A and B are shown apart, each in its own frame.
Chain A
Amino acid sequence: MKKSKLSHFLIFMAPALVLIVTFVIYPSLRTIFTSFLDENGKFSLKNYVEVLKSRDTFDPEGFSRGFPLGTLLHNLIWIAIHLPLTISLGLILAVILRKVKGGNILKSIIFLGMVMPMIVGGVMVRFMFDGSVGVVNGFLRIFGIEGKTWTAYPDTALFSLIFGSVWLWTGFSMVLYSAGLETIPKDFYEAAAIDGATPLKIFFKITIPLLKPVTVVVTIMTLLWELKIFDIVYVATMGGPGGASNVLALQMYTYAFRELNYGKASVVAVILTVSTLLASIPLTKSAGELR
């Protein structure tokens, strides 16, 4: 009986296992293996040393001179600005639009940024910040401020992309928070109101704590997206000017497809995977505890 159960288990699991092994496990192991091979096919740490020592990855001179600071720091800056902004904006919009007439239509419009392919989003970001036709400069001109092509300057290129991507990604957190808000029982709000709690107190003491599982999911998904960010940067600035908006995924692409150096590209892939795991495991764990 036990044997037949095991065979049934294996039969049903086999298709999924074959797919996972072929398309996830083998390529991952192969990438790790490649990252340790030098140009002569010998096992060494040379690729790691070269990538980690490279100015492309970390450029301390940038602190005194200005951008670029290196892809590692650029990704961290991206996370530091983009993550809190998208989460807070998504939450605020979800709460505000919940009770507004036509709120669902507004939510759909905001969500359009998320539905759009990120390549198209990147092109739009480039034009949004353009000196002649950009909507950002059009807005600034109302206040008499003469704009510039923000993506063309090293000091503003990365920030332009980050703020542009906030527009593209906020719809995601807003939709998840909207769904989360529907799961909070109305009794809680009614009881709090009877007890005389102010709307602000209700928001901080009821809404935010009860949305914690949603916040964990949004944080994990956003963090993973930020770490692997590529398409917007590739289309809008190609990592420039002078590497000022370069990110890890684009660095990996450059190593692989411009330098044709798959060893160094694999090193960046490993760094990205490790960073992703380091970021997502504790968050996933806390999500499990919440359940």
Chain B
Amino acid sequence: MRKFIVVSLLILSVLLISKTLTVIGPWAGAEEEKFLPVLKAFEEKTGIKVEYRIYRAEDLANLLPAQFSAGKTPGDVIFMWGWFILDQAKKGHVMEVSDIISEKDYLPGVLNAVKLNGKLYGAAYTGKVKPGFWYRKSFFKKYNLKVPSTWDEFVDLLEKIKKIPGIKAPIASGNGVGWPLSDVTEHFIITFAGPNVHKDLIEGNIKWESHTVRYAFEKLVSLLKKGYFGEPTEWTMALKQWWNGDYGLYFMGSWITGMVDDPDDLGVFALPGAKGVVFGADYAFVPKYTKYPEEAKKLLAFLCGAEGQKYQVQQGGHIATNKLVPLDAYPPVDREVAKIIVKMEALTDLDDSVGGAFQTAFWDQLKLLWVKPDRLDDVLRVLDEKMK
């Protein structure tokens, strides 16, 4: 009996003493399954237990300010928008991690989003590229379609797809809160207004109603008016419909490779003439109120270091931000993405960088533009108002 009590007490004390870190991230379903092995690798390496919780960034934006104000945190390492991490860092809620993250190991400029006065308050995990329009190779083969190399060829391709019986529209329009529409719009801005205009828009140096930005939008609007884009549909549903042949093309990020049945059937092309591509890194930070600061920093260093990122890119759909990740770690399907981005300038995501009320307004206005392309003037005016 005495032995039993002693053993029970020992087990209880071990359970109480053992530290469990909580990681909060946005990945659910297939994406979560590909993230969990990375956490498992950390557990095996360090013996520190890690628990994963799913929260959308939109929900975290509501939850975290109140929790931080009360000196609490729901997680020890949290994945969140770069602009939000910086905002909270300015308020003193985020731990500095310059001592564990070496900037020279990362892609140039990728850590700028979490840098304040030369100090790092977060780190970049892997990223996703938004390379262009995805298509099924089997679909293109069946209908004898070719990847376009000029704008006219692109419009011809859309016209050909539109004439295929049973097709709802040539391009699927992913919806939800609206971010998929912002991705394709940014691709048009980069292609027809240029990477520098894209950067200027982020920094507020140029107006949305300016001639160059309007020109890019007019290109997009010309396609919307011809019915080349489908009706905005919840993006995972649109993905299934596109895969089943209801649409010919789908503009989506590189994570799509992890969401389809046969990634080898995937092909992708950028708009002819595109000189840049959006590279959206996932950022993580350690809140000041974590109970285990050293362990949390260790986890952040692992996740954002070469080892953690290697585990993630091996699963497919992710591109490393850490330069020390070897190229042979990528599955073959991601190399096609890599081929596209190697010739182009990597740009940060526009709405993720600006953030705040502008981000939701941008998504919302694009939802309007998609169904009422003749209201372009209204849309651009509102975007200028929301940028202020």
Mark A residues whose CB is within 8 Å of B.
55, 65, 126, 130-133, 148-149, 152-154, 238-244, 254-255, 257-260
A148 to chain B: which residues have CB within 8 Å? 231
Do the beta carbons of B232 and A258 come within 8 Å of each other? no
Which of B43-51, B262-270, B357-365 is the contact stretch? B357-365
Instruction: Give me 15 other A-B pairs in contact (C-beta within 8 A), A238-B364, A241-B367 excluded.
Output: A55-B382, A65-B375, A131-B233, A152-B231, A153-B371, A238-B177, A238-B178, A238-B363, A240-B367, A241-B232, A242-B367, A242-B382, A244-B368, A254-B357, A254-B360
Separation of A35 and B177 alpha carbons in the complex (Å):
29
B230 closest partner in A (C-beta): A131
Do the beta carbons of A257 and B368 come within 8 Å of each other? no
Mark B residues whose CB is within 8 Å of A.
61-62, 65, 87, 175, 177-178, 231-234, 237, 241, 356-357, 359-360, 363-365, 367-372, 375, 378-379, 382, 385
Asked whether A238 and B360 contact (CB < 8 A) given A149-B231, A152-B175, the answer is: yes
B234 to chain A: which residues have CB within 8 Å? 126, 130
Do the beta carbons of B360 and A241 come within 8 Å of each other? no
Do the beta carbons of B231 and A242 come within 8 Å of each other? no
Q: Would you give the shortest CB distance from B364 to chain A, in whole angstroms? A: 4
Separation of A130 and B369 alpha carbons in the complex (Å):
18
Q: Is the interface of B mostly helix, strand, loop or mixed?
A: helix
Separation of A229 and B61 alpha carbons in the complex (Å):
21
Asked whether A149 and B233 contact (CB < 8 A) given A257-B61, A257-B62, A259-B357, the answer is: yes
Q: Is the interface of A mostly helix, strand, loop or mixed?
A: loop
B359 to chain A: which residues have CB within 8 Å? 258
B84 closest partner in A (C-beta): A260
B357 to chain A: which residues have CB within 8 Å? 254-255, 258-259
Q: Would you give the shortest CB distance from B204 to chain A, in whole angstroms? A: 16
B61 to chain A: which residues have CB within 8 Å? 257-258
Separation of A239 and B369 alpha carbons in the complex (Å):
15
Q: Would you give the shortest CB distance from A90 to chain B, in whole angstroms? A: 32
B177 to chain A: which residues have CB within 8 Å? 238
Q: B178 touches which one: A126, A149, A240, A259 (CB < 8 A)?
A: A240
B366 closest partner in A (C-beta): A241
A244 closest partner in B (C-beta): B368
21 A-B residue pairs with Cβ-Cβ distance under 8 Å, sorted by A, are A130-B234, A131-B233, A132-B241, A133-B237, A149-B232, A152-B231, A152-B367, A154-B371, A238-B360, A240-B364, A240-B367, A240-B368, A241-B371, A242-B367, A242-B368, A242-B375, A244-B368, A254-B357, A258-B357, A259-B356, A260-B87
Q: Would you give the shortest CB distance from B384 to chain A, in whole angstroms? A: 12
Q: Would you give the shortest CB distance from B59 to chain A, in whole angstroms? A: 10
Do the beta carbons of A260 and B379 come within 8 Å of each other? no
Q: Would you give the shortest CB distance from A120 to chain B, in whole angstroms? A: 16
Do the beta carbons of A242 and B365 come within 8 Å of each other? yes
Do the beta carbons of A241 and B231 come within 8 Å of each other? no
Separation of A258 and B359 alpha carbons in the complex (Å):
8
Separation of A243 and B61 alpha carbons in the complex (Å):
21
A240 closest partner in B (C-beta): B364
Q: Would you give the shortest CB distance from A278 to chain B, in whole angstroms? A: 29
B62 closest partner in A (C-beta): A257
Separation of A239 and B365 alpha carbons in the complex (Å):
11
Most chain A beta carbons < 10 A, residue from B177, B178, B372, B382: B372
A154 to chain B: which residues have CB within 8 Å? 368, 371-372
Most chain A beta carbons < 10 A, residue from B62, B65, B231, B385: B231
Do the beta carbons of B364 and A242 come within 8 Å of each other? yes
B379 to chain A: which residues have CB within 8 Å? 242
